[in-house]
């Protein structure tokens, strides 16, 4: 009978073996994924790349700026932007933060699962994801971790009101620093590694001797919880940000309060020194960033523009730029010298989630932000799915792909827009809406050409024929309608589904139309006369998306039963069911060359499939 420790070790080795096998299979698949997917080779489909694994909680660059570590639920992803490669490893617990060691060889992460009272700091080998040590002892959530400048010590701050100091080499607990009477929100080492500062909800900052954990002094003065604390680059000053709307500057050597920086009208969440230590930036719930002169605390300027709380602020390595991250779902780049707003970054995927943290890479060329979704402001790492045309304010918005500039907003729908599609020549844009209509717009100027009426319920999907002459619309009224684009005339209504239709797709030659429905079926229609050719059955839940392969030989469908199914278009024969997703699959599409199949799921992943 295995002991608890032996069982844990066995489960860890099993998880490592599974992950190693998966990596090997995916590398093998990637090596052989130059063959177009066809009915003859669908059994050889394998996952080529796994993109994403949940909500993004934190992002951190390696010290040399060459790698980006991202924490996503129970996974850590290591991205190499230059090589465009990704390594991932599973933590086994819900993980909320990550940090590289100063030499870039190790990663420290912290995980919190209150349901099973697991509050663990984990130390990993950065190159291969090997778990080195699990640091256990905290009795409530871990809020932050930090390496000492020499990488020998790890400090963890927790809601259990303690700071713990660990030996990085062997994971041994060295000291438990007690004294705070509320949650410890932040912990940081001085630049020389001799001091450790902790910020707490008990309104205090405490300074500890890093070597032995001895409490040196308690800095009192804030009238609300302290959210953040940082040392100046030379280690002489300490800045603290508090919910009392102030930033306080302290003398690190003796804890003397030098000055109180007042001006914010709400709690201050983040504070940062410029690289040369002459400036101090603060981010607040009052939606502003303020820039102060560290020498005398003088307010130099206030950066206005965010529409919600500003959660984090960071200087570029040369101090010329300031980045701020806000719950208004944006990052903003400001010029320090004059306060000019240089850019507003919404990330490569225009998805709606708070942006909680922001950081520059050491060379200043990249910016990472952590949010409910992955948002990386760099042209190196590009989003593979773009949904920026569909906004839940009843409008269609046109953006310039090159630089993300909003070109125009198309207004006219009276309810949410569910689907948009360009005609093959790009001259016409079609939109389908909850308001039961389809609208055709001129692509060049956004002028509405016509409104197609006839559906008795919301329109979920629109698609043009390859020659652009016909448009199909799919609706919750259980019908597909075929329209002539030139004059908007309704040609025919395709009936047969017993529930709402979520997606339509034309075959590459335009002869066939596939429709996917919540009734768990895909139906194939002949476009010429609207005749139903066959009904494809097999899914056990509603179908959200359907797509033809570029050669028209295959049909792929994505369903709420967590699967993707591949069918032979010629006769509707089921060929393969892909089972790797763990939640509803919302979308499926083939690459233009037919070599890859992408599936996007509510399990927060995009899987790329290729022939092995």
Query: Is 44 exposed, middle or buried, given 0-12, 13-18 or 19+ CB atoms closer than 10 A?
Result: middle
| Residue 407 reports pLDDT greater than 90 | no
| Amino acid 13: pLDDT | 55
Supply the pTM of this predicted model: 0.58
| Amino acid 134: pLDDT | 93
| Amino acid 22: pLDDT | 47
| Strands across the sheet containing 153-158 | 142-147, 153-158, 163-167, 173-177
pLDDT band at 12 (very low <50, low <70, confident <90, very high): low
Average pLDDT over residues 153-171: 96
Dig out the tokens for 38 from the structure.
């066809």
| Amino acid 59: pLDDT | 60
Beta bridge partners of 607: 50, 599
For 280-317, b/e burial (b = at least 16 CB within 10 A) is bbbbbbbbbbbbbebeebeeeeebebbeebbbbbbbbe
CA 271 – CA 274 distance, rounded (Å): 10
Average pLDDT over residues 562-566: 95
Query: Is 265 exposed, middle or buried, given 0-12, 13-18 or 19+ CB atoms closer than 10 A?
Result: exposed
| Residue 540 reports pLDDT greater than 90 | yes
| Amino acid 362: pLDDT | 52
| Residue 380 reports pLDDT greater than 50 | no
pLDDT band at 386 (very low <50, low <70, confident <90, very high): very low
Average pLDDT over residues 468-476: 96
| Amino acid 140: pLDDT | 93
**Where are the strands (E) in 434-573, listed by range?**
438-442, 448-452, 459-464, 470-475, 479-484, 490-495, 501-506, 512-517, 521-526, 532-537, 543-548, 554-559, 564-568
The answer to which of 261-265, 386-390, 404-408, 505-509 has the lowest mean pLDDT is 386-390
Give the residue among 179, 189, 187, 256 at the shortest CA–CA distance from 220: 256
The answer to which of 96-100, 254-258, 377-381, 508-512 has the lowest mean pLDDT is 377-381
CB-based contacts of 553, cutoff 8 Å, min separation 6: 38, 39, 568, 569, 570
Average pLDDT over residues 366-394: 37
CB-based contacts of 598, cutoff 8 Å, min separation 6: 384, 385, 587, 588, 589, 590, 591, 606, 607, 608, 609
| Amino acid 363: pLDDT | 53
Whether 209 and 192 have beta carbons less than 8 Å apart is answered as: no
The string of pLDDT tens digits covering residues 287-328 is 999 999 999 999 999 999 888 888 888 888 788 888 887 777
Total residues belonging to the chain: 612
Share of the chain above pLDDT 70, in %: 80
CA 84 to chain centroid, in Å, comes to: 17
Dig out the tokens for 434 from the structure.
């909850």
| Amino acid 340: pLDDT | 87
CA 397 – CA 405 distance, rounded (Å): 11
For 571-603, b/e burial (b = at least 16 CB within 10 A) is ebeebbebebbeebbbbbbbeeebbbbbbbbeb
| Residue 77 reports pLDDT greater than 90 | no
The string of pLDDT tens digits covering residues 173-210 is 999 999 999 999 999 999 999 999 999 999 999 999 99
pLDDT band at 9 (very low <50, low <70, confident <90, very high): low
The string of pLDDT tens digits covering residues 108-156 is 999 887 667 788 999 999 888 889 999 999 999 999 999 999 999 999 9
pLDDT band at 594 (very low <50, low <70, confident <90, very high): confident
| Amino acid 222: pLDDT | 97
pLDDT band at 393 (very low <50, low <70, confident <90, very high): low
| Amino acid 353: pLDDT | 43
| Amino acid 316: pLDDT | 80
| Amino acid 245: pLDDT | 97
| Amino acid 575: pLDDT | 96
Beta bridge partners of 3: none
DSSP notation for 15-47:
HHHHHHHHHHHHHHHHHTTTSPP-TTTGGGEEE
**Sign of the torsion formed by the C-alpha atoms of 558, 564, 567 and 572:** negative
pLDDT band at 65 (very low <50, low <70, confident <90, very high): low
The string of pLDDT tens digits covering residues 438-460 is 999 998 788 999 999 999 999 99
Dig out the tokens for 420 from the structure.
């948009």
| Residue 434 reports pLDDT greater than 60 | yes
User: Across all residues in the chain, what is the average pLDDT?
Assistant: 83
Supply angle C-alpha 320, 325, 330, rounded to 5.
110
| Amino acid 405: pLDDT | 65
Q: Are strands 521-526 and 195-200 parallel, antiparallel or unpaired?
A: unpaired
| Residue 34 reports pLDDT greater than 80 | no
The string of pLDDT tens digits covering residues 204-262 is 999 999 999 999 999 999 999 999 999 999 999 999 999 999 999 999 999 999 999 99
| Amino acid 56: pLDDT | 55
């Amino acid at each position: 009978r295995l002991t608890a420790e032996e069982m844990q070790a066995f489960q860890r080795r099993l998880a490592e073996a599974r992950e190693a096998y998966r990596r090997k299979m995916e590398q093998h698949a990637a090596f052989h994924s130059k063959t177009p997917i066809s009915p003859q080779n669908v059994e050889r489909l394998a996952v080529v790349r796994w993109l994403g694994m949940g909500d993004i909680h934190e992002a951190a660059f390696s010290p040399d700026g060459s790698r980006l570590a991202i924490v996503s639920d129970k996974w850590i992803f290591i991205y190499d932007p230059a090589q465009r490669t990704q390594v991932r490893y599973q933590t086994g617990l819900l993980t909320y933060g990550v940090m590289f060691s100063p030499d870039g060889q190790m990663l420290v992460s912290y995980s919190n699962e209150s349901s099973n009272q697991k509050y663990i700091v984990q130390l990993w080998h950065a190159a291969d994801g090997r778990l080195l040590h699990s640091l256990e002892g905290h009795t409530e959530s871990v809020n932050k971790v930090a390496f000492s400048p020499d990488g020998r010590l790890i400090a963890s701050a927790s809601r259990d009101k303690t700071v713990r100091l660990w030996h990085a080499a062997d994971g041994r607990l060295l000291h438990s620093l007690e004294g705070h009477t509320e949650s410890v929100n932040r912990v940081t080492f001085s630049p020389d590694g001799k001091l450790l500062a902790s910020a707490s909800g008990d309104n205090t900052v405490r300074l500890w001797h890093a070597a032995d954990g001895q409490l040196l002094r308690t800095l009192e003065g804030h009238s609300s919880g302290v959210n953040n604390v940082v040392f100046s680059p030379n280690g002489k000053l300490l800045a603290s940000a508090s919910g009392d709307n102030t930033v306080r500057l302290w003398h690190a050597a003796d804890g003397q309060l030098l000055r109180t920086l007042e001006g914010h009208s709400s709690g201050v969440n983040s504070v940062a020194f410029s690289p040369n230590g002459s400036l101090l930036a603060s981010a607040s719930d009052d939606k502003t960033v303020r820039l102060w002169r560290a020498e005398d605390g003088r307010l130099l300027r206030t950066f206005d523009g965010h529409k919600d709380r500003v959660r984090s602020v960071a200087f570029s390595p040369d101090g010329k730029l300031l980045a701020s991250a806000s719950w208004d779902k944006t990052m903003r780049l400001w010029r320090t010298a004059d306060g000019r707003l240089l850019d507003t970054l919404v990330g490569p995927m225009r998805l709606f989630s708070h942006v909680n943290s922001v950081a520059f890479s050491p060379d200043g060329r990249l910016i990472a932000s952590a949010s409910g979704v992955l948002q990386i402001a760099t042209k190196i790492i590009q989003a593979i799915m773009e949904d920026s045309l569909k906004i839940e304010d009843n409008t269609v918005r046109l953006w310039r792909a090159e630089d993300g500039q909003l070109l125009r907003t198309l207004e006219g729908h009276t309810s949410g827009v569910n689907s948009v599609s360009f005609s093959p020549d790009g001259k016409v844009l079609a939109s389908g809406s909850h308001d039961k209509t389809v609208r055709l717009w001129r692509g060049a100027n956004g002028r509405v050409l016509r409104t197609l009426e006839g559906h008795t319920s919301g329109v979920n999907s629109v698609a043009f024929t390859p020659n652009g002459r016909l448009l199909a619309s799919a609706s919750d009224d259980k019908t597909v309608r075929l329209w002539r684009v030139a004059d908007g005339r309704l040609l025919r209504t395709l009936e047969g589904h017993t529930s709402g239709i979520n997606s339509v797709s034309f075959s590459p030659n335009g002869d066939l139309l596939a429709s996917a429905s919540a009734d768990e079926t895909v139906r194939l229609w002949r476009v010429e006369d609207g005749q139903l050719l066959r009904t494809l059955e097999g899914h056990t839940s509603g179908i959200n998306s359907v797509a033809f392969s570029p050669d028209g030989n295959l049909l792929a469908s994505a369903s709420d039963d967590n699967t993707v199914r591949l069918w032979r278009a010629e006769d509707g024969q089921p060929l393969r069911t892909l089972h790797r997703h763990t939640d509803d699959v919302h979308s499926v599409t083939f690459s233009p060359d037919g070599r890859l199949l992408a599936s996007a799921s509510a399990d927060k992943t995009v899987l790329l499939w290729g022939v092995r």
